[in-house]
Chains A and B, each alone.
Chain A
Amino acid sequence: MHYEAPIREPLIIGDKSYHDITVDVARPIETAPPRSWWIVFSISLVMFLWGVGCILYTIGTGIGVWGLNKTVGWAWDITNFVWWVGIGHAGTLISAVLLLFKQKWRMSINRSAEAMTIFSVIQAALFPGIHMGRIWLAYFVFPIPNQFGSLWPNFNSPLLWDVFAISTYFSVSIVFWYVGLIPDFAAIRDRAVRPVTKHVYKILSFGWGGKAKHWQRFEEVSLVLAGLATPLVLSVHTIVSMDFATSVIPGWHTTIFPPYFVAGAIFSGFAMVQTLLIIMRKLFKMEDYITIQHVEMMNIIIMVTGSIVGIAYITELFIAWYSGVEYEQYAFLNRATGPYWWAYWSMMTCNVFSPQLMWSKKLRTSLMFTFFISIVVNIGMWFERFVIIVTSLHRDYLPSSWSMFSPTFVDIGIFLGTIGFFFVLFLLYARTFPVIAQAELKTILKSSGENYKKLHEQHGDH
């Protein structure tokens, strides 16, 4: 009954038992963090606090402290927003789409990928909030009864759709993550020795006991949530792209945006998963669970989505020419050859050229190379959003209002702050949460574990 074709590489390496999986997953929680953790955590915390300072300065003084001007009214803030939301796409893609496709290799990476999703959506949500200027009026984006003559938000606006999409995505991702975490928290609770630890994990595990009926419901709930989250994850970046596509700015007003943005989001999300997991598997000695094969699978997804993004860039150029609209043509010619040519060609090199190297099996199974490319891809994807947003705006309708954008220290500070905040959250998560979905992983030990596969080959089905 636990059978898998012998040509499939094992997903769990070594001679592991169920107990070994519990011990390996609990180890980072039960041991004191190493010095390297404290160093990275301190750096992240300082960056985060610097970001908090810049945000407070922005709120106290007004968004005039950013580099925005009358022509370029959206720049780093929205670039960072879209960048972080994009990164936040891999987690749900791994846990939902790969669950529906019965891809077992998702099991050892979905927990951390979902954590990454939640933490990056938090960063993303910060930017529209502070860009409002008067953040204390942020509740106005929600359709709540008010005393201003029942002034409701405009449901025709993609910015409002975005509020609904991001809120739904964020909250559904959290419950999806938490439903899976409960049995793993219970395992930590039942191993805990210190009273404080025991108490904390007792609260977190909601009293889970692994009853048969509960597991039956657990599996059904996971499947339904995956079914709901799959169109949801595709809808989120579709709606983010509509913030641009429904406008009339040349360079934004394109119907290709939804699929192009979704592919780009998956592309950057997987790159960030690679960045985090390559370090985590090494520091936590989880090489037996997050294998080279897992890294290779994700690299293939990066290669495929990178190619889709490349085709989208070329299609945009073709359609601009084919449309015969000179303003549209100018917008794209200006991107590639105008004053922001360096941003455009950085984007092209990082996003279109670099993932093609993954065709080589040697390169896509190399950890160093993967790590390098994952950083390159995320730089490229940041430039993609910058190119779309700033180069489309900086050549306005009247040449007299043409301008350039240069970030102030506040723009840079807030961006660095979100990177710091992201890593603060991820590092805390890595020390307190079971970073691998151990209960789920145990279900594939007998079919995909190296030792069991070998036994199966020697003795056949018994």
Chain B
Amino acid sequence: MATTSSKEIIRALYDDDDVILKAVKDVREKGHRVSEVYSPFPIHGLDHAMGLKPTRIAIASFLYGCAGLTTAILITWFMMNHDWPQNIGGKPSMTWAQNMPAFVPVMFELTVFFAAHLMVWTYFAVNKLYPGAEAQNPDKRTTDDKFMMEVPVSGNRDELVELLKSTGAIEINDVNENA
């Protein structure tokens, strides 16, 4: 009997985005788990086909934007109305509320600044992207025109290989994670 070690992964290479999208659906239908897909460009509907949860990064960005707005309110209040209130051009800044219309541009800019930058940092962090990181794709061709699916072996290995071949895989490789 072929190995049933859960550590073993099969990598199937495809040469078309529509073929691999169909293949992901078929392989999952047969009860296998598709642990990863590497592609040179985003494939529309792949996240759904793989059963990935929607990303929450936009929610994070909204929260960062709120933090930016709060920062802007606090610094304008502290610097203009609290720490050293000044009479500028005969328009004294007595309270933040009276002075607020003049702060709208800065409030807007800081909201955008925080929302955009902190979201991108989060994006880099959760994707483990940083300068000099080792390439995450095991096969160089997947940034050009090839697409790769990783399926952990559960049950009969040969059956899985047959299934992958029938879905249009052009190349099959075994990887043992222990090795």
Contact = CB atoms under 8 A, between A and B. Distances in A.
Q: Do A and B bind each other?
A: yes
B177 interface: no
A161 B106 contact: yes
A215 B39 contact: yes
Interface of A: 1-2, 17-19, 22, 143, 149-156, 158, 160-161, 164-165, 167-168, 171-172, 175-176, 179, 182-183, 186-187, 189-191, 202-221, 223-225, 228-229, 231-232, 235, 239, 242, 439-440, 442-443, 446
A440 B84 CA distance: 51
A186 B39 CA distance: 12
A206 B79 contact: no
Given A161-B105, A208-B135, A217 B117 contact: no
A301 to B, nearest CB: 24
Interface of B: 17-18, 36-44, 46-47, 50, 52, 54-55, 57-58, 61, 65, 75-76, 79-80, 83-84, 86, 88-89, 91, 93, 99, 102-103, 105-106, 108-110, 112-113, 115-117, 119-120, 123-124, 126-138, 140-145
Nearest to B61: A224
A19 B144 contact: yes
B99 A220 contact: no
B93 A225 contact: no
A287 to B, nearest CB: 22
A35 B83 CA distance: 60
Contacts of A210: 38-41, 136-137, 142-143
A450 B5 CA distance: 47
B39 A155 contact: no
Contact of A156 (B80, B135, B137, B145): B80
Given A183-B143, A209-B137, A212-B50, A235 B105 contact: yes
A242 to B, nearest CB: 8
B47 A213 contact: yes
Nearest to B120: A175
Contacts of B40: 18, 22, 183, 187, 210, 439, 442
B145 to A, nearest CB: 4
Nearest to B103: A155
Contact of B37 (A143, A165, A212, A439): A212
B133 to A, nearest CB: 3
Contacts of B80: 152, 154-156
Given A203-B132, A209-B136, A443 B44 contact: yes
A165 B116 contact: no
A150 B117 contact: no
Given A206-B130, A213-B52, A221-B120, A152 B112 contact: no
A445 to B, nearest CB: 9
B36 A212 contact: yes
A231 B104 CA distance: 13
B109 A235 contact: yes
A68 to B, nearest CB: 24
A191 B145 CA distance: 12
Given A171-B113, A190-B141, A207-B130, 9 more contacts: A18-B40, A18-B145, A175-B120, A183-B40, A206-B130, A213-B52, A213-B55, A239-B105, A446-B17
Contacts of B116: 172, 175-176, 225, 228-229
A116 B131 CA distance: 24
Nearest to B60: A224
B102 A440 contact: no
Contacts of B140: 190-191
B113 A179 contact: no
Name the 9 nearest CB pairs between A and B, nearest first. Answer: A209-B136, A207-B133, A209-B137, A18-B145, A152-B79, A206-B129, A190-B140, A161-B105, A215-B42
A215 to B, nearest CB: 4
B57 A221 contact: yes
A283 B120 CA distance: 34
A156 B99 contact: yes
A165 to B, nearest CB: 6
B57 A1 contact: no
Nearest to A188: B143
B54 to A, nearest CB: 8
